[in-house]
Structures are given as structure tokens and as C-alpha cells.
């Protein structure tokens, strides 16, 4: 049997409401914001990545540091909505190994994003060729990790063992 604290979380008013409410502002609203966050975070990061890898070279690189605000906003939305999604279905997520794979991948992807910001975009004296030289490898990792993160996230819908705590 899964650990009992999962049942405790499921029995809280917040978890029950998120899961069982007929309101359009319950579970699927949180899931919607998780998708918005994904679009902002990964959408913006992918643009920076492909530019560093040599696509659409005409776009000046330096202003791209503005996009990191969008990425952090997306990350904040997804951290918050992610916690709420776990509160709604704690047994479903926390008993699934894929959930921990997903969190690890996201941790790595965010670390790569932070390195991009500090190694490539923080120093305003760097030329564009110096920036791409420093960023190309990080950009490849970033694309790979975000692709893996989306895949691991999507698989959560198809690989869980329990939907709710077994009675």
C-alpha cells in the first residue's frame, strides 16, 4: 500500500475540491495554467536555443536576455500550478517513478537555463560570436531536456498506478 500521508493529503478540503468540484475553475483550470506556464517557459527558451544554434541569425542576441523574464514567469506559474496538481492527486503522482524522472529533468533544464543567463547573457561586453560559442552546447542540452520534460510530463497521464488512494 502507498504511504498513508498520501491519503491524508487527499482528504484535505483543498485536495477534495480540486479533484471533485464541477466548477470549471477547479482541476482543469490549474492544468490550464500549467500549460500556459509551459508555453511561456519552454516557448521562450526554445527561441533562445535555436538562435544560439545558428537559426535566424539576423535576430540580435543581446535583447534576448529580456526573454528570461518570460521564462521565469512561466516557471513560477508552473511551480505553483504543479504543487496544486500534486495536492489534487497526490497518490497518482507521488507513486509514479515517472514523476521523479520529470522533476529531475526539469531541475536540470532550469539549471541549464540559469547557466545560459549567467554565462552567455550576463556579460554585455561579449560579441555575438563569443555568445554563440559559449551558448551552443548549453542550447543543445536545453532543447533536449525540455523535450524530455514535456514527454515525461505527458506520460504522467498514461503511466500512473493509482488514480487515488486505494481503499
Alpha-carbon Rg for the chain, nearest whole angstrom, is: 19
36 vs 141, which CB is nearer to other proteins?
36
44 forms part of the interface with other proteins (CB under 8 A): yes
Number of residues that bind other proteins (CB under 8 A): 35
158 vs 167, which CB is nearer to other proteins?
158
Handedness of CA 117, 138, 78, 29 (dihedral sign): positive
138 forms part of the interface with other proteins (CB under 8 A): no
43 forms part of the interface with other proteins (CB under 8 A): yes
Question: Pattern of binders to other proteins over 5-24, x per CB under 8 A?
Answer: -------------------x
Contacts of 18-27 with C-beta under 8 Å, sequence gap 24+, read 18/84, 18/87, 18/88, 19/88, 19/89, 19/164, 27/85, 27/88
42 forms part of the interface with other proteins (CB under 8 A): yes
Looking from the CA of 162 toward its CB, the CA atoms found within 13 Å total 17
Residues near other proteins, by CB under 8 A: 24, 27-28, 31-32, 35-36, 38-40, 42-47, 50, 55-56, 58-60, 62-63, 66-67, 146-147, 150-151, 153-155, 157-158
Amino acid at each position: 500500500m502507498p504511504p498513508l500521508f498520501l491519503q491524508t493529503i487527499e482528504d484535505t478540503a483543498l485536495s477534495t475540491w480540486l479533484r471533485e468540484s464541477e466548477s470549471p475553475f477547479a482541476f482543469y483550470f490549474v492544468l490550464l495554467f500549467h500549460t500556459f506556464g509551459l508555453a511561456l517557459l519552454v516557448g521562450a527558451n526554445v527561441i533562445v536555443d535555436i538562435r544560439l544554434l545558428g537559426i535566424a541569425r539576423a535576430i540580435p542576441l543581446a535583447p534576448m536576455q529580456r526573454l528570461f523574464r518570460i521564462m521565469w514567469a512561466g516557471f513560477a506559474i508552473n511551480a505553483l500550478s504543479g504543487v496544486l496538481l500534486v495536492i489534487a492527486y497526490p497518490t497518482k503522482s507521488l507513486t509514479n517513478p515517472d514523476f521523479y524522472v520529470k522533476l529531475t529533468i526539469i531541475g536540470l533544464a532550469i539549471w541549464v537555463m540559469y547557466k545560459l543567463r549567467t554565462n552567455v547573457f550576463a556579460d554585455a561586453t561579449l560579441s555575438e560570436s563569443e555568445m554563440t560559442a559559449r551558448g551552443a552546447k548549453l542550447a543543445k542540452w536545453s532543447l533536449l531536456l525540455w523535450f524530455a520534460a514535456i514527454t515525461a510530463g505527458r506520460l504522467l497521464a498514461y503511466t500512473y498506478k493509482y488514480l487515488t488512494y486505494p481503499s
